[in-house]
Homo-oligomer: A and B are copies of this chain.
Amino acid sequence: MSKFLDRLNHISRKNQSLVCVGLDPDPSLMAVSDVFEFNKAIIDATHDLVCAFKPNLPFYEALGIDGLRALHRTVDHIRSVAPDIIVIGDGKRGDIDSTNTMYAKALFEVWGFDAATVNAYGGMDTLEPFLEYEDQASFIWCKSSNPGGAEFQDIRLSDHPGAPALYQWMADKARQANTRGNIGIVVGATYPDELVEVRQRAGGMPVLIPGIGAQSGNLEASVVAGLDTDDCNVLISSSRGITYASRDPATYPDAARNAASNLRDNINDVLIQEDRGW
């Protein structure tokens, strides 16, 4: 098993949690104006309830150099208070291979993320610079959570046996390329039927499932569909539903804790129902 999967399964068991908290600082929604202070309070209030934090890179980039400084401090803070927790840099990066060498360096060395979301539109060969970081995981954005994702992702490969959709074909290719055990898949919680297809094709790979909460993804169906055969290999990600549960400066950390705790409990209820309890 890869170091990433070891780490993911260790922290999931330790905290009895498949919850990933998305850290998407939006000044128009934050209870306090300082990004690092905001993130720090969320992290302090939730880190014993989650397996991962997922900073969404453009939310920091939109705040300029100051936002990126806050991101560095955020990652450092997670490392200091909860070094076991997985930190996922969510940027859906992807370009030709020589350029991806620089993206991989930025994500895994400069920012020091344990995992990153990547875009495979350029072809699986372009991902090699990410995959060379054997201890870090690269999650391929396969089936997106938005309503219009089907436009390209659901195109049928009619000439192939079974006429798979593009997102299914991409999952097949990901599995073939996963010689180091460090590839994951992203499937939106808004598409649990598609997640069933991806899980069948990507056995052994972790699946990152965003879209719970504000995007109204189906939690129970997503957990059931996402579960792997041995380890869970699932991360259920919620951002706005946790970080903006309250916009009151006095109560938002407690509200975030309650929301994360509820999400963990709801997921764990599904695990028990599936006879997969901790």
Contact = CB atoms under 8 A, between A and B. Distances in A.
A146 B68 contact: no
Interface stretch (A75-83, A117-125, A267-275): A117-125
A44 B215 CA distance: 48
Interface string A162-181: 00001001100100000000
A146 B119 contact: no
A96 interface: yes
A65 B100 CA distance: 19
A98 B200 CA distance: 30
Contacts of A147: 125
B72 A65 contact: yes
Number of copies: 2
A277 interface: no
A125 B146 contact: yes
Interface stretch (A151-159, A242-250, A254-262): A151-159
B65 A106 contact: no
Interface size class of A (residues with CB under 8 A): 35 or more
A28 to B, nearest CB: 11
Q: Is the interface of A mostly helix, strand, loop or mixed?
A: helix
B64 A110 contact: yes
Contact of A125 (B26, B151, B170): B151
A159 to B, nearest CB: 6
A201 interface: no
Contacts of A121: 119, 121, 141, 144, 152-153
Contact of A97 (B95, B125, B126, B146): B146
Contacts of A96: 144-146, 149
19 contacts: A56-B99, A61-B103, A62-B102, A62-B103, A64-B106, A65-B69, A65-B72, A96-B145, A119-B119, A119-B121, A121-B144, A122-B146, A122-B148, A123-B144, A125-B147, A126-B144, A126-B148, A155-B157, A156-B159
Q: Shortest 6 CB-CB distances between A and B: which pairs?
A: A125-B148, A123-B148, A58-B102, A61-B106, A158-B158, A123-B151
